[in-house]
Copies of this chain bind each other. A is one copy, B any other.
Amino acid sequence: MTKDSVSLAVVRRLPRYYRHLQELLHEGVTRISSRLLAERLGLTASQIRQDLNCFGGFGQQGYGYNVEYLHREIGGILGLHKGLTAVLIGMGNMGHALCNNFDFPWAGVKLIGVFDNADHVVGTQAGALTVQHIDNLENFVDEHRPEVAILTLPRQAASAMAGRLTALPSIRGLWNFTNADLQQVHNAFSVEYVNFTDSLMTLCYRVSEGQL
Q: A interface vs B, CB < 8 Å?
A: 3-4, 8, 11-12, 14-16, 18-19, 77-80, 82, 84, 92-94, 96-98, 100-104, 106-109, 147-148, 172-175, 183, 187, 189-190, 192-212
Contacts and interface: CB of A to CB of B under 8 A. Distances in A.
Contact of A203 (B97, B190, B205): B190
B198 A79 contact: no
A174 B173 CA distance: 31
A107 B201 contact: yes
Q: How many copies does the complex hold?
A: 2
The secondary-structure label for the interface of chain A is: helix
Given A93-B93, A93-B97, A97-B94, A207 B190 contact: yes
Contact of A209 (B3, B187, B195, B210): B3
A200 B109 contact: yes
Contact of A190 (B109, B189, B211): B211
Given A97-B93, A101-B94, A78 B199 contact: no
A194 B199 contact: yes
A93 B100 contact: yes
10 contacts: A19-B198, A84-B204, A107-B200, A107-B201, A107-B204, A173-B207, A190-B203, A192-B199, A192-B202, A194-B196
A202 B11 contact: yes
Contacts of A92: 97, 101
Contacts of A80: 201, 204
A79 B94 CA distance: 28
- Indicate the member of A108, A148, A196, A201 with the most B CB atoms within 10 Å: A201
A108 B201 contact: yes
Contacts of A147: 207
A9 to B, nearest CB: 9
A201 B15 contact: yes
A190 B173 contact: no
Contacts of A103: 197
